[in-house]
Amino acid sequence: MAMLLHACCGPCAMYPVDFLLNENVDFDLYWFNPNIHPLYEWNRRLENLQKAADHYNVKLIRDGGEGHIDCREDYWKSGEYKDQYASRCEMCYDIRLDNVARFASENGYDSICTTLLVSPYQQHDVISRIAKEKASLYGIEFSYYDFRPGYREGQNMARDIGLYRQKYCGCIFSLEESKFRDKIYKSFEE
């Protein structure tokens, strides 16, 4: 059974990838994160996910062509998502997991999972519900793993191999709300 593991960034991929390899799960990593803003951050996270994939010798599939893709900033700022979703986070999970499940179904994968399930800062139950719905919609399985117990270990593993560890979720709103906002903006200039 081949699984497509959606990955949001290198640090969050470390523990799930290590865990799945130790469990002998057949999987490829998949990058689709149009929420990440600005372009510099999108590129930096993709580059560090590639480093993690190379570290484990795991295939990384990059969806969306070259450069930043459709961060939907105007859509988010308009508030239109509130008509369909309970929160902007729910909308973000839905957009990404729909793409993951569709790609998996169209490319011969039997199941999906996501590294979003490693973070204690994400809405675990919402992610799981949406992933299950999207997998069912596209005729595949959702392979559920609660990776949260390995979150700190994964962060340490990321530090050990020199991965960039970001200080906000990725969207423009989380950047503006981060207590590290000024430090983050300064890092874009360096």
CATH number at residue 67: 3.40.50.620
Inside any domain, residue 187: no
Q: Which residue has the tokens 């809405």?
A: 123
Residue 183 lies in a domain: no
Distance of CA 105 to the CA centre of its chain: 18
The 10s digit of each residue's pLDDT in 108-132 is 999 999 999 999 999 999 999 999 9
* pLDDT (mean) for 25-54: 90
Kindly state whether residue 68 falls inside one of the protein's structural domains. Answer: yes
pLDDT in tens, 155-185: 999 999 999 877 666 666 666 666 666 666 6
How many CB atoms sit inside 10 A of residue 50's CB?
A: 15
What are the Cα distances from residue 147, in Å, to 3, 117, 155? Answer: 16, 6, 12
Contact 31, 102 (CB under 8 A): no
The whole-number pLDDT of residue 67 equals 47
Distance CA 131, CA 113 (A): 7
| Rounded Cα–Cα distance for residues 185 and 163 (Å) | 19
Domain contains 103: yes
C-alpha dihedral, 32 to 33 to 34 to 35, nearest 10°: 160
Locate tokens 């986070």: which residue?
89
Neighbouring residues of 176: CB distance < 8 A, sequence distance ≥ 6: none
Helix (H, G, I), strand (E, B) or coil at 2: strand
- With respect to residue 28, please indicate whether it lies within any of the assigned structural domains: yes
* Residue 190 belongs to a domain: no
As for how many domains the chain has, the answer is 1
> What is the span of the domain harbouring residue 150?
2-165
What does the pLDDT read at residue 41? 82
Q: Is there a cis peptide before residue 38, judged by omega within 30 degrees of 0?
A: yes
42: tokens are 């999108």
Q: Is residue 186 part of a domain?
A: no
Tens digit of pLDDT for each residue in 130-163?
999 999 999 999 999 999 999 999 999 999 999 9
Q: Largest alpha-carbon pair distance within the chain?
A: 46
**48 part of a folded domain:** yes
